[in-house]
Amino acid sequence: MNIELLERYGPRMLEGLLVTIELVVISVVLGALLALPIALARMSRSPILRGASLAYVTFFRGTPLLAQLFLFYYGSGQFRHFFESIGLWWFFRDAFLCCLFTFTLNTAAYQAEILRGAMTSVPRGQREAAMALGIRGPAVLFRVILPQALIVALRPLGNEVILMIKGSAVASIVTVFDIMGVADLAFARSFDLSVYLWAAVLYLVLVETLSRVWNVLERKLTAHLAVAGTRA
């Protein structure tokens, strides 16, 4: 363990940890907000909505996150005049914001498919029962279908968050100083491989913490489903 190296880059590494957490939390939350309308569009009766949402989901799930990031980060430069004229250039010029933008669109596609799968797993009778009780419109979705669907979606959503934590490392390639970015910087200056091992430990701790939290969450949320005596 190189103490001098740790003194110099340790604090920056922790700042990088915060940047990684910020990237993941913001994009996963914004992605979730986008995912619901996309999932509903996927199940819609309108062929236009269905086609458009299918194209969106296929594109973002079928291409590498790195290629998407380059497409938006470098690609937006080509439309600089346009973005300047609508006053959005500051957004696409900023590597961090561009990463947020790309990650949000990407995770929205994955989350939409998870949600869609979960919503289809809710038996038809639930919707019919709700309608028979005189519940209408959005209340059927938000009070009856979604609460049951989210329990099914919980585990895959947790996996998606873990994939985002790992995937967010590509932000370092467009000069964002997340955990990976700081490790790259420290390695380029010191040629000491141990900086990558610190980064590895940080990522493992992050992923392991999340999966524990998720297990607790799952146990709490499904407590009412446990058959008496099967769970301590």
Partner 1 sequence: MGEALGLLGFGPDGWGDELAAGAWLTIRLALATLPFGLAVGFLAALARNSPRRWLRTPGNAFTTIFRGLPELLTLLLVYFGGQTLFTRIAGLFGGAQIEVSAFVAGLVALGLVFSAYASEVFLGALRGISRGQHEAGYALGLRPFTVLRLVVLPQLIRLALPGLANLWLVLLKDTSLVSVIALNDLVRETSVAVHATKEPFLFYLVACLIYLAMSIVSSVGIMRIERWSERGVRRS
Q: Which lies closer to partner 1 via its Cβ, residue 9 or residue 140?
A: 9
Residue nearer to partner 1 on the CB measure, 108 or 180: 180
Report whether 186 contacts 15 (CB < 8 A).
no
What dihedral do alpha carbons 15, 16, 22, 24 form, nearest 10°? -160
The yes or no reply on residue 193 touching partner 1 (CB under 8 A) is yes
Q: Which range touches partner 1 (CB under 8 A), out of 4-12, 118-126, 136-144, 204-212?
A: 204-212
- Distance between first and last Cα of the chain: 43
Identify the residue whose tokens are 């086609």.
Answer: 51
Stretch that binds partner 1, among 7-15, 44-52, 61-69, 95-103 (CB under 8 A): 61-69
Q: Is 199 in the site for partner 1 (CB under 8 A)?
A: yes
Question: Of 188 and 232, which has the nearer Cβ to partner 1?
Answer: 188
Segment near partner 1 (CB under 8 A); pick from 9-17, 23-31, 117-125, 169-177: 169-177
Q: Which of 8, 34, 70, 214 binds partner 1 (CB under 8 A)?
A: 70
For residues 27 and 21, what is the distance between their CA atoms, to the nearest angstrom? Answer: 10
Shortest Å, Cβ 110 to partner 1 = 12
103-111, 127-135, 163-171, 219-227 -> range binding partner 1 (CB under 8 A): 163-171
Q: CA 134, 40, 163 angle in degrees (round to 5)?
A: 130
Check binding of 88 to partner 1 (CB under 8 A): no
- Number of residues engaging partner 1 in binding (CB under 8 A): 39
Please tell me whether residue 91 binds partner 1 under the rule CB under 8 A. Answer: no
- Residue 58 interacting with partner 1 (CB under 8 A): yes
Side-chain-side CA neighbours of 221 within 13 Å: the count stands at: 15
User: Residue 228 has which token pair?
Assistant: 């008496």
Question: For partner 1, which is the closer residue by CB, 200 or 226?
Answer: 200
Cα separation, 127 vs 232, whole angstroms: 33
For helices 95-121 and 65-73, the axis angle rounded to 10 degrees is 130
- Considering the rule CB under 8 A, would residue 168 count as an interface residue with partner 1? yes
Cβ closer to partner 1: 27 or 76? 76
Distances (CA, A) of 152 to 115, 116, 156: 9, 11, 8
Do residues 152 and 118 lie in contact, with contact meaning Cβ atoms separated by under 8 Å? yes
Q: Which is nearer to partner 1, 41 or 171 (CB)?
A: 171
Please give the structure tokens belonging to residue 87: 């006053």
